[in-house]
Amino acid sequence: MAEATQAYEVGRHPELPPPRSEVGVLGWLKHNLFSSPFNVVLTLLVVWFLWTVIPPLFEWMVLNSVWTADTRKECWARMAVPEDGACWAFIKGRIQLFIYGFYPHPLRWRVNLSFVLLVLAIVPVLYDKLPGRKYALWYAAAFPFIAGWLLVGGFGLTPVDTDQFGGILLTLIIGVTGISFSLPIGILLALGRRSTMLVPRVLCVLFIEFIRGVPLITLLFVAATMLNYFLPPGTVFDLLVRVLIMVTLFSAAYIAEVVRGGLQAIPRGQFEAADSLGLTYFQAHLTIVLPQALKISIPGIVNTFIGLYKDTTLVLIIGMLDPLGIGRASLADPVWLGLAREVYIFVALFFFICCFSMSRYSLYLERKLHTGHNY
């Protein structure tokens, strides 16, 4: 105890290391997990919860899973304890169905080609440092039409009926079309809603509020059952096209509200500055107002896109077979009866990967475009 009693002059005490309970693993544990009695209880509860959920789930999904089998019975026979593992053989055997739907086998190279083209079209949109990005963007704008030609056929290619589209292909068709067409329409609607002219403004408000007030499923019902009544007699309209129109209009109304929020956040001075430079309405909006407004609206726009992408599953209610629809149809196969969990987990993972990457990209973009003060 000699050290403890040694006297120092004021301000001369040598610096001591921090107590062991405040640094390192112990300190982290103390501050992050056990900082108060309530937190101790909470931590223990969560540990108990994770312990009861994760190991069995991992065993079921990975350790006890079976990847090759032809029937459910065979699947279960291969397990140490029947029904104790996931039967991924089911998904593996039907993966073609999940990706292409009923697209004719010999023509599936066209689907693969359009997947590759889609990736090539997305890259210049996402990365702005790409050399020759300007031309790549023109290609990206043309992509929906190129892909449409590839998939549907005609003009030299064997036509494929859109009834045969399904699975991930269908999700991507609806998602990409909806995303690429709803943004320009949404911007126009937002500008219309903020117009000083009464007639366009009222029309835009009515349209936006009507679409936002009803569920998408009712619009899809309209597309499926009664859109033909509004068309000239004898017009036959493909169901997929009707659905695409409805999904695009639906998401355009939401985009319009997001963009309107962005437009409202632009200070008046920006408009006045553009006016004083003698810019016309379109020049002012294209070069001054919209670039700023869209930048602010990015999180909202991406959120709308994620919502649209998730909403593509609703087409199963009007009888189209997206991945979830294919999964539900597969569940009715008597050979594989009772494997709902595998199907739902597979489809959930597909959507999670797509939507989560979209939300991460939006965060990255937000940080990159943040040109204001960095506190």
Partner 1 sequence: MAVVTGTGSDTRNPIARLWGNKKARSVIVQIVTMAVVFGVLALLYRNVVVNLAAIGKEFSFDFLNAPSAYDITFSPFIEYNSRSTHLRAAAVGILNTLLVASCGIVLATVMGFIMGVLRLSKNWLVNRTVYCFLEFTRNVPVLLHILFIHGLVVTQLPVPKQAMNFADSFFLTNRGFFFPAPVPEAGFWIVATVFAISVVFVIAFGRWAKKVQDETGRTYPVFWISTGAIVAATAVAFLAAGMPLSWEAPALKGFNFKGGVAIKPEFIALWLALSYYTSCFIAEIVRAGILAVSYGQTEAAYAVGLRPNRTLQLIIIPQALRVIVPPLASQYLNLTKNSSLAIAIGYMDVVATIGGISLMQTGKEMETMMIVMLTYLVFSLIIAGFMNWYNKKMALVER
The residue ranges that bind partner 1 (CB under 8 A) are 31-33, 35, 39, 42-43, 46-47, 49-50, 196-200, 203, 210, 212-218, 221-222, 225-226, 228-233, 306, 310-314, 316-317, 324, 328, 338, 340-341, 344, 347-348, 351-352, 355-356, 359
Which residue, 252, 259, 269, is CA-closest to 296? 259
- Min dist. Cβ of residue 327 to partner 1 (A): 9
Calpha distance 304→204 (Å, rounded): 19
Q: Which two tokens stand for residue 254?
A: 């939401």
Max CA pair span of the chain: 105
- Min dist. Cβ of residue 8 to partner 1 (A): 36
Backbone dihedral angles phi then psi of residue 332, each to the nearest 5 degrees:
-80, -5
- Min dist. Cβ of residue 340 to partner 1 (A): 5
Query: Which of residues 1 and 197 has its CB atom nearest to partner 1 in the complex?
Result: 197
- Min dist. Cβ of residue 299 to partner 1 (A): 11
Calpha distance 291→298 (Å, rounded): 11
Query: Which of residues 135 and 352 has its CB atom nearest to partner 1 in the complex?
Result: 352
Q: Which two tokens stand for residue 353?
A: 């990967």
Instruction: Evaluate whether 243 touches 220 at the Cβ level (below 8 Å).
Output: yes
Query: Which of residues 67 and 210 has its CB atom nearest to partner 1 in the complex?
Result: 210
Query: Which of residues 159 and 319 has its CB atom nearest to partner 1 in the complex?
Result: 319
Q: Which two tokens stand for residue 41?
A: 């209880």
Calpha distance 341→345 (Å, rounded): 6
Query: Which of residues 47 and 122 has its CB atom nearest to partner 1 in the complex?
Result: 47
In Å, how far from its chain's centre is CA 202? 32
Calpha distance 258→252 (Å, rounded): 10
Query: Which of residues 35 and 112 has its CB atom nearest to partner 1 in the complex?
Result: 35
Calpha distance 196→102 (Å, rounded): 50
What does the chain come to in residues? 375
Calpha distance 153→348 (Å, rounded): 31
- Min dist. Cβ of residue 204 to partner 1 (A): 11
- Min dist. Cβ of residue 369 to partner 1 (A): 20
- Min dist. Cβ of residue 149 to partner 1 (A): 29
Query: Which of residues 356 and 364 has its CB atom nearest to partner 1 in the complex?
Result: 356
Instruction: Evaluate whether 275 touches 343 at the Cβ level (below 8 Å).
Output: no
- Give the torsion through C-alpha atoms of 268, 271, 274, 280, to 10 deg: -160
Query: Which of residues 109 and 230 has its CB atom nearest to partner 1 in the complex?
Result: 230
**In which element (H, E) is residue 228 found?**
none
Q: Mention every residue, 6+ apart, whose C-beta is less than 8 A from residue 26.
A: 20
Query: Which of residues 65 and 312 has its CB atom nearest to partner 1 in the complex?
Result: 312
- Min dist. Cβ of residue 187 to partner 1 (A): 18
Three-state DSSP at 102 gives coil
- Min dist. Cβ of residue 349 to partner 1 (A): 9
Query: Which of residues 164 and 359 has its CB atom nearest to partner 1 in the complex?
Result: 359
- Min dist. Cβ of residue 105 to partner 1 (A): 28
In Å, how far from its chain's centre is CA 8? 65
